[in-house]
Structure 1
Amino acid sequence: MAEVKLFGCWYSPYSRRVEMALKLKGVEYEYIEEDLSNKSPLLLKYNPIHKKVPVLLHNGKPIAESSIIIEYIDETWEGPSILPKDPYERAMARFWVKFIDEKCAVGMLKACTSSGEEGEKAKKEAAQLIQFLEEELKGKKFFGGDNIGLVDISANFIGYWFGIIQELKGQELLTKEKFPNFCEWVNEYVNNKFIKENLPLKDKMIEILKAFL
């Protein structure tokens, strides 16, 4: 059997993405929890450039960056497809993952952590970003259609983590009135049996996020 290890952190949405991909494919793996305030020599050895989790180790060969790891998992193991088969749809899935990581997650976090005039501006900008996702989800259950796919897994921060941050900050950036399609996706996502089993416990996340915020 191929040796598979995952260096991760339980509260990291990026680590959780990779765990979901491994479990969707039915891959057996050893999970190694990292203390991000005191990173292990092995993590630094296997990811010397970014020095971050997650890192997948397959037969002694390390792969870093969650979206790259997920694609590798999808191409390496049998099981349900995570990326679409159609080349155009695969390209679009990659586009939305990049948009979520580089635009949405950053903008939504800024909207919740900024105050005053800067905070109001950040909220407007975040709302504009979410509107793009709102349009993309029109007529869909998930980004991948009827089934969980690459974009859904990659949007876990805005589907779960961000909701807890909003609660802690007493804000309501995402409302059903403004974003009905997006909010319906969030509801489907967090209540999906597979997803629910692979999300960190809310009480534990509240403790971590309180310290972060």
Structure 2
Amino acid sequence: MTSRRTPDRSTAGTPDRASARTPGRRPGGPDTRGEILDAARESFAGKGFAATSLRAVAREAGVDAALIHHYFGGKDELFIESMSLPIDPRQVAAAILDGPRDELGRRIITVFLGVWESPDGQQRMKAILRSVVSSDEVARMMREGITQMIIHPVSQVLRVPDAELRVSLVASQLLGMALTRYLVELDPIATTDVPTLIDRMAPAIQHYLTA
């Protein structure tokens, strides 16, 4: 008598794992992180920092939003990675705010030059600064991200009506100095030692903030 084969109950009626995944979503792979960063850059450039959502970035990259949290943690970290910033702007804000109000100017220029004077920091910052002055999209990304993570927190400490204008004026001083020292390499700014630059610029920055 021919025996009838009993179906394997461990697999019968069980959908294939690949087909059970959410359509359009895939797990992490070798290129997943890069694809998330590409989608994030496009979103930050097109929509701005505030309007970019992690869900939208995940949808564009074709991954689950949980992977973004796994790789980056949150939107701030995603912005920092997508812009290849050499330092976390939130750490910059914390360092600036950690101390007496009447020494804000000195702390700002000290932290700023500290980033630029490190070999890796200078290389990355040069690339970012060149991109900012040549691309409206990159300029918008930087403007909105830095506003959220540095300008707003520092402005709140000043407690004056025109606080954001004051901090923006400081930013104009710092960007101007960076252009002349590191890109144009205009002497004597380009060859002046860091302590001298700090001594010369700190009072001017402090004046913008508290005068």
* TM-score, shorter chain, exceeding 0.5: no
Q: Which has the higher strand share?
A: 1
> Considering only CA atoms, is the larger Rg found in Structure 1 or Structure 2?
2
TM band (smaller chain): 0.3 to 0.5
Using the size of structure 1 for normalisation, the TM-score is 0.33
Q: TM-score, normalised by structure 2?
A: 0.34
